[in-house]
Amino acid sequence: MLALQLALGFALTVVSIRLLPLLAEVVGWQPALVPLAVGPIAGTVAMLRLRASPAALRLANGRR
């Protein structure tokens, strides 16, 4: 399962790198970079939700 996740992540990165310059030609660099912010924002929200979860204490052996 980890190999599949790694492969999908790598493929998504390659596609993003190849498509970004093409999109930037059409709409400009600032609007083209906006979709790339979705991943880090979603990751931050997920980590904050996990930290607020009671299960997080069990996963971290009582440490936050």
pTM over 0.85: no
Residue 9: per-residue pLDDT: 92
Residue 10: per-residue pLDDT: 95
Q: Maximum distance among all alpha carbons in the chain?
A: 50
pLDDT digit string (tens) for the chain, length 64 residues: 899 999 999 999 999 999 999 999 999 999 999 988 998 999 999 999 988 888 887 877 767 6
Sketch the domain layout of the chain as residue ranges.
2-59
Residue 64: per-residue pLDDT: 65
Distance CA 50, CA 44 (A): 10
- Which positions ≥6 away from 50 have C-beta within 8 Å? 56
Residue 13: per-residue pLDDT: 92
8 Å CB contact between 23 and 32: yes
